[in-house]
Amino acid sequence: MCLNIERRIFTDNLKGKIMQNTVNQSILPYTAKINELNHLEIGGCDTVELVKKYGTPLYVYDEDSIKTCCRQYKDAFSSYDDVEILYASKAFMTRAVCKIMKDEGLGLDVVSGGEIYTAMNSGFSMQKCYFNGNNKTFQELELALYCNVGKITVDNFYELELLDKIAKEQGKTVDILLRITPGIECHTHEYIKTGQIDSKFGFDLPQLDEAVLKVKTDYTNLSLKGLHAHIGSQVFEKDVYADLIGIIAEQYSKIREKYSLEFSEINIGGGIGVKHTEEDDPPSIYEIAGIITSSLKENIAKYGLGKLKLALEPGRSIICNSGITLYKAGSYKQVTEGRKYIAVDGGMADNPRPSMYQAKYTALIANKASTEAEETVTIAGRYCESGDILIENISLPVITAGDIICIPATGAYNYSMASHYNRVPKPAAIIVHNGHSDVIIKRESYQDLISFDVIPERLAKSDCSCI
Q: Which residues are catalytic?
A: 384
436 vs 45: CA distance, rounded Å? 7
- Beta strand pairing call for 340-344 and 375-380: parallel
DSSP states of 197-236 as a string?
SS-SSSEEHHHHHHHHHHHHHT-TTEEEEEEE---BSSB-
Selection from 350, 431, 310 nearest residue 66 by Cα: 431
Alpha-carbon distance of 124 to 117, in angstroms, equals 10
10 Å CB burial of residue 337 (0-12, 13-18, 19+) is exposed
User: How many whole angstroms separate alpha carbon 140 and alpha carbon 135?
Assistant: 10
Closest alpha carbon to 193 in 239, 135, 235: 235
- Measured at the alpha carbon of residue 284, what is the angle toward residues 280 and 286, in degrees to the nearest 5? 170
| Dihedral sign, Cα of residue 78, residue 288, residue 185, residue 109 | negative
Which amino acid makes up residue 346? G
Question: CB-hemisphere CA count at 13 Å for 54?
Answer: 31
* Biggest distance spanned by C-alpha atoms of the chain: 80
Q: Helix or strand or coil: residue 311?
A: strand
Neighbours of 203 (CB within 10 A): 21
CA angle 80, 83, 88 (to 5 degrees): 135
- How many angstroms separate the CA atoms of 298 and 291, rounded? 11
In single-letter form, the type of residue at position 293 comes to T
Identity (one letter) of the amino acid at 182? Answer: P
Chain center to CA of 236 = 15
* Dihedral (CA of 301, 240, 133, 419) sign: negative
Gap between the Cα atoms of 203 and 201, Å rounded: 7
β-strand partners of 175: 223
Tell me if residue 48 falls in helix, strand or coil. Answer: helix
Alpha helices in 55-204 (DSSP H): 63-76, 95-103, 113-121, 138-146, 157-170
CB 153 within 8 A of CB 228: yes
